[in-house]
Amino acid sequence: MVANTLERARGIFRRHYMFTVAALGLGWLVLSIDRSTPSPILSIIGRDFGLSGAEMGAIASAYFFPYVAMQVPAGVIGDRVGLKKVLVAMYLVIGVGALATGLFAVSYSLLLTFAVLRGLGAGAFFSGAYGITMQTVPAGKRGISTAIVTSGASLGMALGLALPAVIYLATDSWRAPFLLFAVPLFAMAIVLLFALGDIKHVEVERGGPRAIMDILKNKDLMLLNVALFCVLYGHWTALTWGASLFAVERGMRVDIAGFFAAIIALSSIPGVIIMGRLSDTVGRKRLSAVLLLIGVATIFSMAYFKSPVALIVALVLYGLVGSPAWAAVSIAWVGDHVSAGRRVGVGTAMGVTNTFAMSASVVAPVVSGWVRDRSGSLEGAFYLAAVIVLLGALLTLIPGETVKRRKSV
């Protein structure tokens, strides 16, 4: 009786695509908490191991390099063996990495090793989650569905920046957050195993390296990928250096400056949902030009204006219409083009797309820091970011529109 009831509930849960979308959004939230965990307690970890600033920075690099490197391989493997299988396995890998960090990271080398393990596992999420979204969601709902999944990342980032310090203060151990957050990581593997049905395999003309070459030769896809890099360059500049700009060059207290920087993550949650919904109605291309031009103005404003009120307005606007909101629109746009052609697997395409997107997380902080060292101010770094985002906005004027104007969806 109980078994039949559970099976019936599972069938209902799997039949409606919005349950799949909600589960993937929850997955992004959990992953983003883990990804953000080291940041607020990095100085404490550094003090425990006696690390230099460069060595502390290498902890983040140890996570993000394998994260970026795994994007394409994870997509190719997912298209071959099943995106769901890869997605479930990756949560187990991240969970092991988080658990091992809390229990066994007794040396700096082991700490880096487990960061690499977490990054490798997390690198499989984007292609798996958005690949499944593109395969299961009707074309007219892709914008809002992608936005719901993406909003999980924004909320997870906010929680991941806030909770670890609280947990540390309560336990007097920087290991406690990793141990605590390992639980939802393992739980997500079970949730996705239950929530995701047997994802239908879509036959495509090309796979593996041939598929990657097809993507690199596709003008529309590559323009969108390069535009996504440009737009996220602005995002990572603001996220990495925003608090420093406000604290050092605007004279704010460190905690207040951190709050100002967090405004972007918090305001992006409704922004992602609203813009994803609009893109299903008015079109991806039509909406992109407006969003990105406003995004350029807000990044410029962060460096130009000194007034706290003006900064809050700029930060809120950037969260509402900036890179997090447009990223959801662009992912749906890429998915539209891939699904229409059916020459390559959507998992592979999403892996290539996120390789371009996350490359900005490696490039922007370094280049922005170089500009600060050369000019003596972060303002120049933000002005450069605004120019690069403007380039991305111009690139989005070229790819073909994939959404017909409709009154309702």
Q: What's the pLDDT score for residue 408?
A: 39
Q: What's the pLDDT score for residue 216?
A: 79
Q: What's the pLDDT score for residue 132?
A: 83
Which ranges in the chain are annotated with CATH 1.20.1250.20?
A: 1-200, 202-404
Residue-wise pLDDT for 151-206, tens only, equals 888 788 778 877 888 888 899 999 999 999 999 999 999 999 888 765 555 554 55
At 69, the amino acid letter reads A
> How does residue 307 score in pLDDT terms, banded at 50, 70 and 90?
confident
> How does residue 406 score in pLDDT terms, banded at 50, 70 and 90?
very low
Residues 6 or more apart in contact with residue 134 via CB below 8 angstroms: 142, 335, 338, 339, 346, 350
More reliable by pLDDT, 207 or 344: 344
Q: What's the pLDDT score for residue 305?
A: 80
Query: Could you tell me if 37 and 131 are in contact, meaning their C-beta atoms sit under 8 angstroms apart?
Result: no
Computed over every residue of the chain, the mean pLDDT equals: 80
Alpha-carbon gap, residue 157 to 57, rounded angstroms: 18
Residue-wise pLDDT for 340-384, tens only, equals 656 666 777 777 888 888 888 778 877 877 887 788 877 888 899
Domain range 202-404, its CATH number among 3.40.50.2300, 3.40.190.100, 1.20.1250.20, 1.10.10.10: 1.20.1250.20
In this predicted structure, the answer to whether residue 76 has a pLDDT above a threshold of 90 is no
Residue-wise pLDDT for 15-63, tens only, equals 566 788 889 999 999 999 998 888 778 778 888 999 876 687 778 778 8
Fold of 1-200: Growth Hormone; Chain: A; (1.20.1250)
> How does residue 244 score in pLDDT terms, banded at 50, 70 and 90?
low
Tokens 């936005």 locate to 147
For the ranges 12-26, 78-92, 181-195, 325-339, the lowest mean pLDDT is seen at: 12-26
Q: What's the pLDDT score for residue 12?
A: 46
Give residue 172's region: left, alpha or beta (phi > 0; psi -120 to 50): left
Q: What's the pLDDT score for residue 207?
A: 52
Residue-wise pLDDT for 92-150, tens only, equals 999 999 999 999 999 999 999 999 999 999 988 888 888 888 777 776 777 778 778 87
Query: Could you tell me if 230 and 392 are in contact, meaning their C-beta atoms sit under 8 angstroms apart?
Result: yes
Residue 318 CA: distances (Å) to CA of 107, 237, 367, 387, 391: 40, 13, 21, 15, 17
Q: What's the pLDDT score for residue 3?
A: 52
Alpha-carbon gap, residue 357 to 370, rounded angstroms: 21
Give mean pLDDT, residues 226-237. Answer: 88
Q: What's the pLDDT score for residue 187?
A: 96
Give mean pLDDT, residues 304-309. Answer: 79
In this predicted structure, the answer to whether residue 407 has a pLDDT above a threshold of 60 is no
